[in-house]
Amino acid sequence: MENSATADSALIAELNDLLQLDHDAVQAYGIAIALLRDERYRRTLTEFRGDHERHIDELTTLITAKGGTPVQLPHLPSGVFKLAMQAVGAAGGDRAVLLAFKANERQVRDKYRRIAREAHTSDVTSTLARNADDENRHYLWALDTLEDDLGISADSPLGRAERVVERAHARMADGMEAVERRAMQVAGDAGGAIYEQVKRNPMGSALAALGAGFLMAAVLRGRR
């Protein structure tokens, strides 16, 4: 019984991690859509944001069905870090916006891909596999658009430099979120206690990452 309870707690914490990841994405998409000048890109990102909103609905249903508490908040503090990354495009035009978008989407794609490959019940597996396919499609669109429309290939000097930033961004965000996920699992109710604490003091939870986020944004801006 104890092993079963531990497994359920781990699964719910994992699903909540993805739920928060989609909340992160919805916020970052809002910034990107507001900054983009090309109406085609704005329409595409609006469509992609709809995918993330669907993910939120589906994961909320799954977590509730498993007896957990859905955490309807972005990751803290890494959510602020991702918003800072996306905000780098403010003065850099569509190219900078999409480079930052791609860096954020890389982390979403990789995490969904990792978790979707784990052994789960059929209801979890089907949802995660479908969402992972969405994330791969988003990332490939960013790659193709940057190369075909904006002349930034993966092998160009800027493309290579941006990949370094992208990987560092993913590692930093994953590390922060892993700590948060473990804390939720220890809480015993998929983070319900932490959720209530963060709702009471969200800014205090985020400030620790703000400087790191803007530093990474500055690096990406300098590589344009």
- What CATH number does the domain containing 45 carry? 1.20.1260.10
Residue 123's CB is within 10 A of a number of other CB atoms, namely 13
pLDDT one digit per residue (tens) for the chain, 224 residues: 445 555 688 899 999 999 999 999 999 999 999 999 999 999 999 999 999 999 999 999 999 999 999 999 988 766 776 887 778 766 778 998 999 899 899 999 999 999 999 999 999 999 999 999 999 999 999 999 999 998 877 777 666 766 766 777 777 777 777 777 776 666 554 445 544 444 444 443 344 344 444 444 444 445 44
Per the confidence metrics, is the pTM higher than 0.85?
Answer: no
Q: How far apart are CA 90 and CA 62, in angstroms?
A: 37
d(CA 35, CA 80): 17
What's the domain range around 66?
2-222
Angstrom distance (rounded) from CA 224 to CA 208: 27
CA dist 204 and 196 (Å) reads 13
How many domains does the chain fold into?
1
